[in-house]
A and B are shown apart, each in its own frame.
Chain A
């Protein structure tokens, strides 16, 4: 099966117009030595067979999941997928021709506005690839802002995000300093204070952090504000329904992954990074930005703007190399936020808060299960047990439950610890099922 509409007559007609005898002649510029005799792939199949193949892979029960750790199982209203399934959105390209791209441009403008609203920041871009690359770009931007040479990264930052930052800063001279967590699971403020030197480019804080614990952004803001060091906050956007945003505490750059805003888990992507900052820094920002303007008749319209920051104009002096971003995912997040509105957003926040706390209470009432960190949590928490986390997790998996993430995978000292997440989709009955299964181990 292929998607070419050409009949034999069409082909003949076109070859005649070109003045060649066969399509093969059109490949004459490719030296004979490079021509491929046969592509080593099986013959094509029909749509019916392709569909059967996918179903053969996926024909299995799904388990009851309490997994989080940077990707979350939230409810997505039906309108979200319905809107982004419109061909006019998903089969369009980047809006370089604004007159025929007002739909995409307006959706991006709304996205930027909503990200500013959630984070309480002044300006946001049209999206980044995902949370991790958004953080890496934030670190690079901080260095552009102050030319300093070290960055403080919490040990409680998502370990994958940390690895992405490390990869992205290879090309510049930058020291990454590890800031450990305290007994409560929050950043060790005393060590942070000690490491916050004059040549520190940025302090990175994740909220809630990878251990699920909420940081005291006010204390961190007090330390960093009024220095030339940039305050970078990496946030879970759903938490901003209940928890004060970093913009309240003087953050310079707020980034995160928009996946919780109505996007499917999809084995890790496509998600959408968001990136917000201060008006004063806008010309140092990476990525596309949509702006409002007027057309020749004075009518309101939208365009990609401040493009002299970008690779297609500035080339090796661009603020980033990003070109294609995650516009359709940003559109999905925009529709999600429009559909739940301020009231629904508050309700989601409350549900996450109370369901996770109820689960935490029930789980820590079990024999040999303790809460590892005393700090406040939003919808994820760390449980400590008396044996290796993987033993319990595997046993629960056999009962159709993924009870959490084995933290020993990421931190050798936490091999008895499980990171468990409870979103608004986990009902009391789901929690009961987890408790019963655990008790029966």
Chain B
């Protein structure tokens, strides 16, 4: 089979896969002015052609199931199969969001809320946000609503320079000006710089902890006090919560609002880029503003409460990505308290082992002890042989490893960054293979730099011309036949 074709380029006119029973005329016809007479150009393939096509596509992917995937900040841990089965039970998968028979679904949402409260130290959660970024949007909207209710129109959100791009983008959508706070040599928030920015216009500070260098913000209690004294609130981007499970809690650190990525810490599958789930938790004072509806337990029954006059409103069509919540609940129940603690311990152990093994071979821009992930840099290799983080990433592919996250944190914060997060589900043998590959690549960088610059060598396609893709965009398949 020619693997290069799109589904539109397979099959033949008139060929088909799924058919439906014939409709029996109801006697009512579609009004002439509304009836579609030109059908969309959809593929015409047999079922076998279809299955082969998408199987071939799937084989062009790296995935957790097939490859080590140490993509920093993304927490690519194993996705247990029991979660998939649970979400596909007909009474779950077939449940309509406006059904009056939704007790099981409401119980699942309520139980997961109790888990997240225990893990995070917050007082209440909404599951409406469908991903981390939408969680941020809800979180900052909650902070805005809180300040409005206090009669304070704040104007600024503070964000460390190492933060993820969704943080400033979110603050901007919510109508705030963004000011960046510098990182110290150790990779943590520069408290002096923070102080200099803390005016009464500041609505809050958005922080990730461990931060995007994988370093614990050990001055967090002071930071929280400073922000609160200035009348601001503290937002926790929970992308890195995996390091904290059962060890410590953002709620105890002084955070007022948190989002948690169920598709990271609670291992709901990433799906090639979603669906995710980004539940948001808040402290007592912000509970009235949570999106509506919220789930209430009354006796043994659960209900959706829409009567919330101070709510910021809704952010998703119904109640968020429920199918992800049930997966996460099964995970949480199976782990239990000690399983969670073990999870964070092994995640941090794997990361520190990699850091120790790679320290002689690569620069680590921020030398504080990492938690569950760490940032290495290709700066040494760049100076010596012109090798970039991209080159190392692409060469790793030849070794059968998905590259780490590269150029995050951004080049203006640290050069040629490679953010490595092994997660707890990887074995010592796998981690050793990765370390060995990285050491080999460091050698190759000196001895045969072209090998890196031309990598990857054995993938379905090699390095792609991204400049032309952006300059002359081809964004859809167009048939030649009208």
Contact = CB atoms under 8 A, between A and B. Distances in A.
A43 B336 contact: yes
B225 interface: no
B476 A269 contact: no
Interface string A193-224: 00000000000000000000010101000000
Interface in A39-87: 39-47, 50-51, 53-55, 57-60, 62-63, 65, 67, 69-71, 73, 75, 77, 79, 81-87
Nearest to A297: B462
A167 B174 CA distance: 10
A321 B137 contact: yes
A290 B475 contact: yes
B23 A353 contact: yes
Interface in A275-305: 282, 288-297, 299-303, 305
A384 interface: no
A50 B330 contact: yes
A29 B15 CA distance: 63
Interface string B14-28: 011111111111111
A328 B465 contact: no
Nearest to A11: B349
Interface string A2-32: 1111100011011101111001001111110
B96 A71 contact: yes
Q: Which among B20, B263, B267 has the highest number of chain A CB atoms within 10 Å? A: B20
Interface string B419-430: 000001111100
A6 B426 CA distance: 8
A79 B47 contact: yes
Q: Which among B64, B314, B475, B478 has the highest number of chain A CB atoms within 10 Å? A: B475
A325 B273 CA distance: 6
A355 interface: yes
A42 B336 contact: yes
Nearest to A133: B316
A245 interface: yes
A60 B316 contact: no
A348 B169 contact: no
Interface stretch (A100-108, A145-153, A225-233): A100-108
A344 interface: yes
A237 to B, nearest CB: 10
A370 B30 CA distance: 21
Interface in A302-323: 302-303, 305-308, 310-318, 320-323
Contact of B271 (A90, A301, A317): A90
Contact of B270 (A91, A164, A394): A91
Contacts of B61: 88-89, 92, 100-104
Interface residues of A, number: 203
Contacts of B334: 1-2, 44-47, 50
17 contacts: A3-B78, A58-B91, A73-B94, A90-B79, A99-B462, A113-B8, A214-B34, A267-B323, A268-B317, A268-B322, A293-B474, A295-B464, A322-B131, A338-B53, A357-B26, A376-B30, A402-B100
B40 A267 contact: no
A18 to B, nearest CB: 5
B169 A327 contact: no
A306 B470 contact: yes
A234 B7 CA distance: 27
A33 B221 contact: yes
A299 B94 contact: no
Given A100-B402, A357-B28, A18 B6 contact: no
A3 B332 CA distance: 12
Nearest to A259: B317
A165 B468 CA distance: 35
A36 B8 contact: no
A326 interface: yes
A37 to B, nearest CB: 10
Contacts of B248: 27, 30, 34-36
B344 to A, nearest CB: 8
Nearest to B17: A339
A123 B39 CA distance: 18
Q: Which among B17, B47, B141, B253 has the highest number of chain A CB atoms within 10 Å? A: B17
Interface in B112-167: 115, 118-119, 130-134, 136-137, 141, 144, 164-166
Contacts of A358: 24, 26
Nearest to B469: A293
A242 B324 CA distance: 33
Given A17-B357, A94-B270, A269-B319, A54 B18 contact: no
Interface residues of B, number: 202
A296 to B, nearest CB: 5
A405 interface: yes
B136 A308 contact: no
A58 B93 CA distance: 11
Contact of B461 (A34, A50, A98): A98
B132 to A, nearest CB: 6
A191 interface: no
A268 B320 contact: yes
A46 B82 CA distance: 11
A164 B316 contact: yes
A356 to B, nearest CB: 8
A31 B66 CA distance: 38
A97 B397 contact: yes
Nearest to A29: B216
Interface string B41-67: 111110100110111111111111111
A106 B424 contact: no
Given A44-B334, A265-B97, A339 B18 contact: yes
Interface string B355-390: 111000000000011010000000000000000000
Given A2-B339, A90-B79, A109 B477 contact: yes
A3 to B, nearest CB: 5
B316 A132 contact: yes
Contact of B165 (A243, A245, A288, A312): A312
Contact of B23 (A10, A46, A65, A355): A355
Nearest to A44: B336
Contact of B274 (A58, A122, A316, A325): A325
Contacts of B300: none
B271 A327 contact: yes
B469 A171 contact: no
A263 to B, nearest CB: 9
Interface in B320-364: 320-324, 326, 330, 332-343, 345-346, 348-350, 352-353, 355-357
A129 B277 CA distance: 10
A264 to B, nearest CB: 4
B424 to A, nearest CB: 5
A133 B17 contact: no
B42 A117 contact: yes
A413 interface: no
Contact of A270 (B321, B397, B424, B427): B321
Nearest to B44: A341
B132 A101 contact: no
Given A93-B71, A107-B57, A2 B343 contact: yes
B313 A167 contact: yes
B69 interface: yes
B230 interface: no
Interface string A148-192: 000000000010110110111011100000000000000000000
Interface stretch (B103-111, B194-202, B279-287): B103-111
B170 A321 contact: yes
A271 B319 CA distance: 11
B19 A264 contact: no
Nearest to A26: B348
B424 A3 contact: yes
B312 interface: yes
Given A17-B357, A353-B30, A402-B101, A39 B316 contact: no
A397 B468 CA distance: 58
A311 B71 contact: no
A44 B394 CA distance: 40
Nearest to B48: A79
B218 interface: yes
